[in-house]
Amino acid sequence: MKGLIQVNNDGTIDFEPVFMRMNDELSLIGQSLKIVCAGGYVMQLNGYRGTADIDAYYESSQSIEAIIRKVGDEFDINQPDELWLNNSIANMNPQPPNEYCKLVYLFSSLVVEAVSIKYLIGMKLASGRAQDVMDVGDILNRDNNVQPFELLSELKSMKFDVDISVLLDAFERARGMDWLDGFYKDNQGELSKFF
């Protein structure tokens, strides 16, 4: 079965057949599984950069990991040091509340959900890693209606502790240094509460 992975027109991997194959394997052993995807796969689902692996929340077991490995080997998408689907994200972030997740695929033995793009922004800004801030900048670049203080308030309501300077780094990536200079000048009073 090697080489059956489908690549979309934009060069991203089409994971639907992979999930369908995983569902088949789960059905064979009479097991069901729900996964909640985050990270690069959510970016891909929303038309941003693609990903070669999927970070997700799911209940791991020896049989689940064996299925993930088997399916990844069949599609030739496992990396030498990492499987195509992993739940290591659970070590860094708690599982998202259901209200911030949406259904992606519903199979007989496998449910695939993904966090909302706003929730992903919160996860990425809370991590503060350079790639995550760049990803958020790319997301913000598409929507000029999003404003820093409103976004910060929304993320706080989702229980994220986001550093305003990290948030503004993402906005600077999206809108440029001139925008950031203007924002600082126009909002000195409000910003003084954070510094």
Q: Give the neighbor-by-neighbor strand order of the sheet with 33-38.
A: 85-86, 54-57, 33-38, 110-115, 101-106
Record the pTM.
0.89
Q: How buried is 139 (Cβ within 10 angstroms: 0-12 exposed, 13-18 middle, 19+ buried)?
A: buried
DSSP secondary structure string for all residues of the chain:
-TT--EE-TTS-EE-HHHHHHHHHHHHHTT--EEEEEETHHHHHHTTS---SSEEEE----HHHHHHHHHHHHHHT--BTTB-SEE-GGGGTSPPPPGGGEEEEEE-SSEEEEEE-HHHHHHHHHHH--HHHHHHHHHHHHT-TT--HHHHHHHHHHTT----HHHHHHHHHHHH-HHHHHHHHHHTHHHHTTT-
Confidence of residue 3 (pLDDT cuts 50, 70, 90): very low
Tens digits of per-residue pLDDT, 126-168?
998 999 999 999 999 998 789 999 999 999 999 999 999 999 9
Query: Are the C-beta atoms of residues 65 and 87 closer than 8 Å to each other?
Result: no
Confidence of residue 1 (pLDDT cuts 50, 70, 90): very low
Confidence of residue 4 (pLDDT cuts 50, 70, 90): low
Tens digits of per-residue pLDDT, 56-87?
999 999 999 999 999 999 999 999 889 999 99
C-alpha angle 125-79-58 in degrees, rounded to nearest 5:
55
Domain boundaries, the chain: 6-115, 120-191
Pick the range with the lowest mean pLDDT from 1-5, 36-40, 177-181: 1-5
CA distance 151 to 98: 20
Tens digits of per-residue pLDDT, 37-63?
999 999 999 999 888 899 999 999 999
